[in-house]
Amino acid sequence: MKALIIATFVALSVAAPQYPKPAGYSGYKPDYKPSYKTDYAPAPYDFAWAVKDDYTYNDYSHQESSDGNGYVKGSYQTLLPDGRVQTVTYTADDYAGYVADVQYSGEAKYDYKPAYKPSYPAPAYKTPAYPAPAYKVPAYHAPAYPSPAYKAPAYGPKY
């Protein structure tokens, strides 16, 4: 019986429909070699930019230069929220990679903010005066339970 069930499952899995691979865009491959040179030597460059907006407290700048042979040096700086200026001076080349030197100038300044102390002022209203209750206060008596009508069991543990 087990062999029949296993044979049935094998037959069903083999008989399952085989769908072709979905068609998709395989990309354009030209049959010719490009006539232009694709390997360019790096060109030397030099740039700098700065942003100073007193209204939003944005103060950034960046300067970078390259010699055209793979050696790049530059620096950027930003004004931090605590008042210090962070300056990063870096060099990058094929031998050492990216090497950065981070420096901070100025001293951190934090505004004095006293610790929060919740205050609870006296209520603005007066407590109303209520008259004494007109009813007699009920007296509380402890309940009196009758003793049980059955005897306590007379057996003990047996070891």
The pLDDT tens digits of the residues spanning 98-147 come to 999 999 999 988 888 888 888 888 778 888 888 887 888 888 888 888 88
| Beta carbons of 100 and 92 less than 8 angstroms apart | no
Q: Cα–Cα distance between 135 and 114 in angstroms, integer?
A: 55
Structure tokens at 113: 């903010």
Q: Cα–Cα distance between 52 and 58 in angstroms, integer?
A: 6
Query: Which residues are 48's β-sheet partners?
Result: 63
Edge-to-edge strands, sheet with 72-79: 45-53, 58-66, 72-79, 85-93, 97-105
Q: Cα–Cα distance between 102 and 60 in angstroms, integer?
A: 15
Which pTM was predicted? Answer: 0.47
Give CA 155 to chain center in angstroms. 69
Q: Which of 45, 106, 48, 50 is nearest to 72 (CA)?
A: 45
Q: Give the tens place of pLDDT for each residue, 13-67.
A: 766 667 777 777 777 777 777 677 777 777 899 999 999 998 888 889 999 999 8
Domain parsing of the chain, residue ranges? 41-107
| Beta carbons of 75 and 60 less than 8 angstroms apart | no
